[in-house]
């Protein structure tokens, strides 16, 4: 079975690292990796391939720095060319980026089967580009690999059980990666020493969602909260280049510690040793849970509702006072006992088994 895997953004590199490692164990599976180039900065792309030992992409399309429409259009054109040349049995896409929807659309128009890893997630906010991407990708996928019961139920509620597709709960490949790379990261990363954080309490935060960065009021609300929290507990922010540019544009001054985008190992070590996570990232919400850290989410909703329901995560939006209130509450609380929300680190194995069991349906 020839699998064409489409990746392009940082979270997809992490997911692909787990699944590609498992695919290599099966001689019946042959993987061709295509990097769209959506994340092209060395710290946001190259370092992930090196650290996580992801096979070097067979194709790098170098498509980035464009509007959503232009980027998705160029990806469609170039991915179609690759698919016509490679003639895969299956196209595998991850998550909810422009690379995801472009890969799924290009495959479907060529009558190639599509598998969507991380299917069924819903924030129910149609103003988010990611929500549009994940809904449309689900609708044209043949295999819907769901990380949670909630994701499965979302698809069933939308009528997918009556559609020509397979819904399979696999667990979350990001937990596979966290388990596998957790110990390696602690041995290889020197980030705590570099930032003089050894033995110290600090808050780890990220800001990158367009709903926050493109809205000056939202962005100011988050920055003000982090500045005030930094006065009582150091705040460290690996800052997305685009967010940094917009902060300068709107003359928003940061009093907290800003560092360049980090590789996966450095982020894992910062996560494992922090006191709290404040983020608008979907992936980091889960990773905080994997490493037993409370998370305050600076969005109005999250697709990871099970984290909210079980008290591991709270929704703050972008109101300065609310972010500070929830952060202080989390800093003074004990992390509750973890329950099995995302599988036991065997999601990649479950996906490979499902593909091999259904190989005949590709022919």
Task: Write down the catalytic residue from 208, 230, 240, 250.
Answer: 208
Same domain, yes or no: 28 and 151: yes
Q: Is residue 178 part of a domain?
A: no
The Cα 282–Cα 287 span in angstroms is 9
Same domain, yes or no: 9 and 152: yes
Same domain, yes or no: 117 and 198: no
pLDDT average, residue stretch 15-38:
94
Same domain, yes or no: 297 and 193: yes
The pLDDT value given to residue 9: 87
User: Range with the lowest mean pLDDT among 49-58, 209-218, 274-283?
Assistant: 49-58
pLDDT digits (tens, 9 = 90+) for 247-281: 999 999 999 999 998 988 999 999 999 999 999 99
- Is 208 annotated as catalytic? yes
Same domain, yes or no: 327 and 356: no
Q: Is residue 325 part of a domain?
A: yes
Contact (Cβ atoms closer than 8 angstroms) between residue 137 and residue 101:
yes
Task: Please tell me the pTM assigned to this model.
Answer: 0.89
Question: Which class for 310: exposed (0-12), middle (13-18), buried (19 or more C-beta within 10 A)?
Answer: middle
Contact (Cβ atoms closer than 8 angstroms) between residue 343 and residue 172:
yes
Contact (Cβ atoms closer than 8 angstroms) between residue 343 and residue 170:
yes
Same domain, yes or no: 137 and 166: yes
Provide the residue range defining the domain that includes 87: 2-171+346-362
Residue 276 parent element (H or E): strand 276-279
Same domain, yes or no: 132 and 212: no
pLDDT digits (tens, 9 = 90+) for 135-167: 999 999 999 999 999 999 999 999 999 999 999
With tokens 């769901």, the residue in question is 146
Q: Is residue 91 part of a domain?
A: yes
Same domain, yes or no: 71 and 165: yes
Q: If pLDDT is split at 50, 70 and 90, which confidence band does 45 have?
A: low
Q: Is residue 340 part of a domain?
A: no
Same domain, yes or no: 155 and 243: no
Where residue 238 sits, what CATH number does that domain have? 3.40.50.2000
pLDDT digits (tens, 9 = 90+) for 315-362: 999 999 999 999 999 999 999 999 999 998 999 999 999 999 986 565
Same domain, yes or no: 191 and 152: no
Buried b (16+ CB within 10 A) or exposed e, 60-75: ebebbeeeeeebbebb
Same domain, yes or no: 43 and 162: yes
Other C-beta atoms lying within 10 Å of the C-beta of residue 4? 26
Q: Is the pLDDT of residue 24 over 60?
A: yes
As for how many domains the chain has, the answer is 2
Same domain, yes or no: 319 and 353: no
Q: Is residue 339 part of a domain?
A: no
The pLDDT value given to residue 44: 53
Q: Is residue 337 part of a domain?
A: no
Q: Is residue 153 part of a domain?
A: yes
């Amino acid at each position: 079975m020839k699998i064409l895997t489409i990746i392009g953004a940082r979270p997809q590199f992490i997911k692909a690292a787990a699944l590609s490692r498992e695919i290599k164990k099966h001689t019946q599976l042959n993987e061709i990796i295509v990097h769209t180039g959506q994340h092209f900065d060395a710290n946001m792309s190259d370092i992930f391939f090196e650290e996580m030992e992801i096979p070097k992409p067979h194709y790098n399309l170098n498509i980035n720095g464009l509007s959503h429409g232009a980027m998705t259009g160029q990806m469609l054109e170039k991915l179609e060319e690759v698919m016509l040349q490679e003639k895969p049995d299956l196209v595998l896409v991850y998550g909810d980026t422009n690379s995801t929807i472009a890969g799924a659309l290009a495959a479907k128009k060529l009558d190639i089967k599509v598998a969507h890893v991380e299917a069924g997630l819903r924030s129910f906010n149609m103003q988010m580009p990611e929500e549009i991407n994940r809904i449309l990708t689900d609708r044209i996928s043949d295999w819907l690999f769901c990380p949670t019961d909630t994701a499965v139920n979302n698809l069933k509620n939308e009528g997918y059980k009556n559609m020509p597709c397979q819904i399979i709960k696999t667990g979350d490949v990001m937990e596979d990666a966290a388990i596998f790379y957790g110990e390696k990261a602690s041995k290889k990363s020197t980030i705590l020493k570099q930032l003089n954080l050894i033995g110290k309490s600090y808050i780890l935060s990220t800001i990158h969602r367009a709903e926050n960065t493109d809205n000056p009021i939202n962005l100011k609300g988050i920055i003000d909260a982090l500045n005030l929290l930094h006065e009582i507990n150091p705040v460290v922010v690996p800052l997305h280049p685009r967010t940094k540019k917009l902060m300068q544009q709107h003359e928003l001054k940061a009093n907290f510690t800003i560092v360049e985008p980090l590789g996966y190992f450095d982020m894992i070590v910062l996560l494992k040793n922090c006191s709290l996570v404040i983020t608008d990232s979907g992936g980091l919400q889960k990773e905080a849970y994997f490493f037993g850290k409370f998370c305050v989410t600076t969005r109005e909703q999250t697709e990871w509702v099970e984290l909210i329901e079980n008290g591991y995560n709270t929704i703050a939006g972008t109101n300065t006072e609310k972010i500070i209130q929830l952060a202080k509450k989390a800093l003074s609380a004990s992390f509750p006992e973890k329950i099995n929300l995302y599988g036991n680190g065997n999601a990649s194995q479950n996906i490979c088994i499902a593909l091999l069991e259904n190989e005949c349906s590709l022919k």
